[in-house]
């Protein structure tokens, strides 16, 4: 099914979406719309710890060793996926034909049961492939809670999942609509619970409109 939905449209600078939105979309389409369409933000301990971790990584600059170069906060873009963003870390490993990029994404917690982190990392790899005209086969997710890397292979299945997520992200933005809430256990740890109101709102309407009515 996914293979039949490969993205065919070429995007321009004007309609590139944030690469980080892919993870939000896979975690919860409603959260993704609240952040990227309605431009709302709410922070809790988990998001604050994640933000601090990324800020530390992005301040590291660059490093150069004999067989490895490390770039921090590297700009990325893909006109095929319609995405733009920044990679936490990209290691360039010396091989016979030149330098092979190896993206590394930093996460606050521990490995997730779903593929949201892997899709975000794979999107970075696809951006690098398009920008540098080469193949990126592997990358890694570094989790702050375990202090370990989880190596990720960018196989065909993950690439198709990533393309499909990018397509759905653009469909969400094109619709301009925030999906209705669907309450589940993951809502309990979401920083948006008080804004999303998953137990209160049952109709398809913007949270901003609901809040305005409440304040009025």
183-203 residue pLDDT tens: 777 777 777 766 777 766 554
Average pLDDT, the chain: 84
In the chain, the N- to C-terminal Cα span, in Å, equals 47
Decide if pLDDT at 110 tops 80. yes
Cα separation, 24 vs 21, whole angstroms:
5
User: Does the pLDDT of residue 152 top 60, yes or no?
Assistant: yes
Percent of the chain with pLDDT over 70: 76
pLDDT at residue 186, as a whole number: 78
d(Cα 178, Cα 130) in Å, to the nearest integer? 31
Residue 139 predicted with pLDDT over 70: yes
- Tell me: pLDDT of 216 over 70: no
Task: Find the CATH number of the domain harbouring 159.
Answer: 3.90.320
Number of domains in the chain: 1
Closest CA to 107 of 122, 84, 88, 92: 88
- Tokens of residue 118, six digits: 């892997």
For the residues 69-91, what does the mean pLDDT come to?
96
Which domain range does residue 32 map to?
Answer: 2-215
Q: What is the pLDDT of residue 1?
A: 45
């Amino acid at each position: 099914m996914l293979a039949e939905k490969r993205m065919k449209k070429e995007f321009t600078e004007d309609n590139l979406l944030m690469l980080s939105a892919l993870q939000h979309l896979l975690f919860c389409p409603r959260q993704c719309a609240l952040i990227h369409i309605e431009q709302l933000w709410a922070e809790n301990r988990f998001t604050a710890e994640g933000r601090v971790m990324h800020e530390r990584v992005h301040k590291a600059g660059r490093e150069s060793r004999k067989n490895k170069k490390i770039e921090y906060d590297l700009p990325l873009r893909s006109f095929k996926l319609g995405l733009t963003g920044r990679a936490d870390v990209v290691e360039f490993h010396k091989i016979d034909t030149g330098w092979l990029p190896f993206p590394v994404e930093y996460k606050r917690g521990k490995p997730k049961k779903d593929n949201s982190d892997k899709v975000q990392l794979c999107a970075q790899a696809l951006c690098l492939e398009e920008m540098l005209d080469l193949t990126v086969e592997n990358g890694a997710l570094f989790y702050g809670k375990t202090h370990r890397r989880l190596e990720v292979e960018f196989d065909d299945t993950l690439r198709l999942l990533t393309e499909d997520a990018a397509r759905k992200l653009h469909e969400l933005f094109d619709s301009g609509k925030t999906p209705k809430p669907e309450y589940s256990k993951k809502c309990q740890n979401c920083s948006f619970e008080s804004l999303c109101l998953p137990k209160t709102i049952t109709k398809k309407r913007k949270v901003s409109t609901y809040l305005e009515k409440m304040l009025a």
